Amino acid sequence: MGVRLLHTADWQIGMTRRFLEPEAQARFTAARADAVRRLGGVARDQGCDLVVVCGDVFESNHLTPQTVRRALDALRSVPVPVYLLPGNHDPLDAASIYRSELFRTEAPDHVHVLDRAGIHEVAPGVELVAAPWESKHPGRDLVAEALATVPSGPAPDGVVRVVVGHGAVDELDPDRRSDSTIRTGPLVAALEEGRVHYVALGDRHSRTTVAGRTDLRYSGAPEPTRETEVAPGDVLVVDLDPRREEVARVTPHRVATWSFRVVDRRVDGQPDLAALDRELDDLPDKDRTIVHLQLAGTLTVPDLARLDALRERHRDQLGALVERDRHQDVVVVEGDDDAWETLTVGGFIAAAAAEIQVAARAGGPPSVPTATAGPGRGAASASTFVAGRPDDEESARDALALLYRLTRGSA
């Protein structure tokens, strides 16, 4: 009467990230296939009857044969039947991986594609109500269409029904008026009626319950994909028995090996830099940790040089160290003592340092003569810099820090 399934989604095998160096990208790619093997181990250890993957198995329909073959090899290790739902990243369009000769001829026999909308009897007494994507922009609620194929009234005795869908639900989607948004109301009504017993969803990469229900859920992605995700890295073991008052009992299991962290700190001198250094040193599994560094504060040029050295060292140890301009607000100021007096520089280097210091101050960079304006330009500009323009001050600040490090022999 009961069934135990493993609910997962959003494997996105073949995903790339622009901020990853080639070596880290290779490990990040391999981790997504390895997650399939780990969730197969969970299915085996927990006695699951099947695995349901709710969309976006692949990052796109345009992957190399090597990537697809490695995914299929990982699927061979899963010891129970696996049911794949095409999602918005890998829809059943003309270029679909699922329709390729490679997939059709090399996919393991226990791997099945839910390639049509409606009820699929996958085992005696077990029905999956599938809502596959046939294009990236369906323009309609695919889950509602699939649900419409289910007879009204409670499911027959001895039958467990699971809806398998992909996409944003109206309760969580800011664009809830979109035609493709999944409407929550009909799903809740079907669950209350006993027409279906569980709704397994994909698309949201954080593990999420919908409408406060334990039987209407997103599993989240088995490996995280960005820093904004709240609870990624799990798969859900779902124990279903319509004879119980609580039909669905759900237990998350951790399978992720990578992590994203946001480190948002203020740095106003050496003590703050030392604390930041220790914090990054203490991170576990640094080679599989992607840190988004957000800094604000006031530093002298020598302290900025120390910060740059700190960044370089940790960037080499971490999976990635990501810094976005909009999250950086570090102001360079002159210290009580002139750091440049301790450096043995002279001649044009000293003159350049003095000029760059002026450029880095709040008053803006010095004027630099430019060529006379050509026809149609009007009067000649007095400077190649514009006072207060962030790029000028930022480049001057970086130049000072680099010059300081070079003259100290630390770069």
Q: Which of 293-297, 325-329, 399-403 has the lowest mean pLDDT?
A: 399-403
Indicate whether 282 pLDDT > 90: yes
How confident is residue 175, by pLDDT bands cut at 50, 70 and 90? confident
Q: What is the DSSP letter of 378?
A: -
Q: What is the pLDDT of residue 396?
A: 73
C-beta of residue 64 within 8 angstroms of C-beta of residue 70: no
Indicate whether 363 pLDDT > 50: no
Q: Which of 13-22, 175-184, 358-367 has the lowest mean pLDDT?
A: 358-367
How confident is residue 371, by pLDDT bands cut at 50, 70 and 90? very low
Residue closest to 163 by CA, chosen among 189, 137, 136, 135: 189
Q: Which CATH number is associated with domain 3-254?
A: 3.60.21.10
Cα angle 55-58-62, degrees, rounded to a multiple of 5: 130
Indicate whether 367 pLDDT > 60: no
Beta strand ranges found along 206-340 (DSSP E): 208-210, 213-218, 234-240, 248-254, 259-266, 289-300, 320-322, 328-333
The string of pLDDT tens digits covering residues 50-59 is: 999 999 999 9
Identify the residue with better confidence: 407 or 51: 51
What are the residue ranges of helices labelled H in 107-183? 142-147
Residues 85-105 have a mean pLDDT of: 97
Identify the residue with better confidence: 369 or 201: 201
Share of the chain above pLDDT 70, in %: 84
Q: What is the pLDDT of residue 354?
A: 73
Q: What is the pLDDT of residue 328?
A: 78
Indicate whether 216 pLDDT > 60: yes
Q: Are strands 111-113 and 289-300 parallel, antiparallel or unpaired?
A: unpaired
Residues 349-371 have a mean pLDDT of: 58
Residues 201-215 have a mean pLDDT of: 96
**Who contacts 264 (Cβ-Cβ below 8 Å, separation ≥6)?**
294, 295, 327
Indicate whether 257 pLDDT > 70: yes
Q: What is the pLDDT of residue 345?
A: 62
How confident is residue 383, by pLDDT bands cut at 50, 70 and 90? very low
How confident is residue 390, by pLDDT bands cut at 50, 70 and 90? low
Residues 267-271 have a mean pLDDT of: 93
Two structure tokens written together for 45: 């250890």
Residues 1-9 have a mean pLDDT of: 94
HSE-up of residue 233 (Cα within 13 Å, Cβ side) = 13
Give domain limits for the chain: 3-254, 260-333, 335-411
Name the average pLDDT for the chain. Answer: 87
Q: What is the pLDDT of residue 341?
A: 56
Handedness of CA 28, 29, 32, 33 (dihedral sign): negative
Indicate whether 378 pLDDT > 70: no
Q: CA 115, CA 99: separation in Å to the nearest integer? A: 10
Give the other-Cβ count within 10 Å of 340's Cβ: 18
The DSSP H or E segment spanning 37 is: helix 22-45
Residues 185-191 have a mean pLDDT of: 97
Indicate whether 336 pLDDT > 80: no
- Could you tell me the pTM of the whole model? 0.82
Residues 169-194 have a mean pLDDT of: 90
Q: CA 72, CA 191: separation in Å to the nearest integer? A: 34
Phi, psi at 353, each rounded to 5°:
-60, -40
Q: What is the pLDDT of residue 365?
A: 41
Q: What is the pLDDT of residue 375?
A: 34
How confident is residue 325, by pLDDT bands cut at 50, 70 and 90? confident
DSSP letter for each residue of 41-62? HHHHHTT-SEEEE-S-SBS-S-
- 44 by Cβ neighbours in 10 Å (0-12 / 13-18 / 19+) ranks as middle
Q: Which of 71-85, 116-130, 241-255, 298-312 has the lowest mean pLDDT?
A: 298-312
C-beta of residue 199 within 8 angstroms of C-beta of residue 165: yes
